[in-house]
Structure 1
Amino acid sequence: MVDLKGQYESLREEIERGFRQVLETTQFIMGPNGAALEQEVAAYCGIRHAIGVASGTDALHLALRAAGIGEGDEVITSPFTFIATAEAISYVGAHPVFVDIDPQTFNIDVDLIEAAITERTRAVLPVHLFGQPADMTPIAALCRRHGLKLVEDCAQAFGAEYGGKKSGAFGDLGCFSFFPSKNLGCFGDGGMIITDDDAAAEAVRMLRNHGSRERYHHAVIGYNSRLDDLQAVILRAKLKHIDDYNRRRRINAHRYSSRLQGSGVLPPVEDGKGLHVYHQYTILCEARDAIQKALNSKGIASAIYYPIPLHRQEVYQEEWAGVSLPVTEDVAGKVLSLPMYPELTGEQIDRICDVILGAL
Structure 2
Amino acid sequence: MGKERSLVVLADSQAEMKKKAGSCRSWILMDAEGKSTVLDVDKYAIMDRAQIHARDLRILDPLLSYPSTILSREKAIVLNLEHIKAIITPEEVLLRDPLDDNVIPVVEELQRRLPFINSIREGQEDGNELGDQQDVEAGEEDESPFEFRALEVALEAICSFFDARTTELESAAYPALDELTTKISTRNLDQVRKLKSAMTRLTARVQKVRDELEQLLDDDDDMADLYLSRKLAGPSSPVSGLGAANSCPASPTIGSKKSRASRASVATFRGDENDVEELEMLLELREFIDDTEDYINIQLDNHRNQLIQLELLLTSAGISVSLCSTMAGIFGANIPFTWNSNHGYMFKWVVIVTIAFCTCIFILIISYARYKGLVGS
Query: Into which bin does the TM-score normalised by the smaller protein fall?
Result: under 0.3
Higher strand share: 1
Higher helix share: 2
- Tell me which structure has the larger Cα radius of gyration: 2
Q: TM-score, normalised by structure 1?
A: 0.26
